[in-house]
Structure 1
């Protein structure tokens, strides 16, 4: 879910850190984060189109290759009232082209609001698309994170129309994730994170595509209809 244009306010103002600070934090774990790649992605999400799509993809791939320590990432992902808007995506073919240094479009800036959140208390995620105060469609279920991989299970679909909400169970009597057989656990969708801080998340999905999310602001959430759904 992407946008062709977006004001800088969409990047969470209280969470910005300079590339130098990011590098020092990562260096304490033994691996220095590529500051230029992080800076390019943050500029790209603050003003979509200011950084060309191939450069966005190149920055994401550089972060993957850096193999940074994931230790602090979950705290950023689950931060209080954190909502993460999908800004840029590159599908598996574009990712493969980027890895081989072959020409491609690089990816797209997602055209509509798509936002996810993770609740550290209930360990429930919710992810969906929003059409302002008019309508929304979200999906939710439990999640768990081990190392770089956050696995989740979609168990409910939630439909919003104006002030009304309907929830439809997609899986009844589902077991907790830690009680699933290994075969079912391995089949769950997941995000394989390459980087996360207070401003952005970079992750690869099960399909092999890469994406960048940015933390929203309360003002943007009100305008996009997210605040009506994500309490």
Structure 2
């Protein structure tokens, strides 16, 4: 946005050494170009979302560099985050990891350098957010055979969701047991602010009812899809996430 400043120009009706001050205003040509730029940004966002939705609809169908570029476009769009937390932690909603790109690939893509773009995640990984308990759980699943998840408290401020890992949960067939990492685990709001700053986090670029795009603390980017009940049953998620 152009700030209104005072711009000094020479007044033709006065002596050459005299000056008058007129407020700066955008030229008609500049004013006409502004809506065009806004429209172009909107088209880029729509195109990026179309790529991401194609990526989750048929994993592997969209080349990895194209998916990564779409994620970067969504980040650059700086979209409003109204209602994102409610979508993220909607009752019964679990998020299946579909695609990841590590920090090196992200930086190469931003610099327009050659890169692999990332990978479609090869095994079943899923996360959930329990609003009632303020508890985040994330892990990998091998159908009815085994699972490994980690959980702890979380809190969201703006577009950043900070979380802690206080417990590891292991599943082997019908058996489940947990290993605590922290005996004096606290909620995020109860922690010392300096300690909270050291925790892992997700910085979200986009969330809707079906997909999530976020950057992790390490600098990598990822895409999640809202998991279907059929997929959860086959992956073994339903046996763990109630």
TM-score, normalised relative to structure 1: 0.85
How far apart in 1 are the matches of 2:57 and 2:167?
A: 32
Could you list the per-position Cα deviations for residues 144-194 of structure 1 after superposition, in whole angstroms to 9, with x for gaps in the alignment?
000010000000100000010001111011222112111101001000000
2:26 maps to none
- Give the structure 1 partner of residue 228 of structure 2: 217
RMSD after superposition: 1.3
Structure 1 residue 72: Cα displacement: 1.6
> Is the 8 Å Cα contact of residues 71 and 147 (structure 1) preserved in structure 2?
no
Structure 1 segment 33-182 matched on structure 2, within 5 A: 34-182=45-193
Q: Over residues 121-144 of structure 1, what are the superposed CA-to-partner deviations in whole Å (9 max), with x where a residue is unaligned?
A: 111010000000000000000000
| Partners of 1:223 and 1:194 in 2: CA distance | 30
Match of 1:193 among 196, 204, 212: 204
Larger of the two Rg values belongs to structure: 2
Deviation at 1:70, TM superposition (A): 1.1
**Counterparts of 1:123 and 1:159, CA distance in 2:** 21
Deviations 1:12-49 (A, max 9, x none): xxxxxxxxxxxxxxx9xxx9581110111111111111
Q: Tell me, in whole angstroms, the C-alpha distance in 1 between the residues paired with 2:200 and 2:189.
A: 15
Q: Secondary structure at the match of 2:59?
A: coil
Runs (4+) of structure 1 exceeding 4 A deviation are none
Aligned partners of 1:227 and 1:143: how far apart in 2?
22
Per the normalisation by structure 2, the TM-score is 0.81
**2:52, 2:138 → 1: CA distance?**
22
Displacement of 1:81 in angstroms is: 0.6
8 Å contact kept, 1:78–1:120: yes
1:42-62 CA-to-partner distances (Å, cap 9, x unmatched) read: 111111111100000000000
5+ residue gaps, structure 2: 1-37
Separation (CA, whole Å) in 2 of partners of 1:176 and 1:97: 36
Task: Provide the rounded CA distance (Å) in 2 between the counterparts of 1:228 and 1:53.
Answer: 32
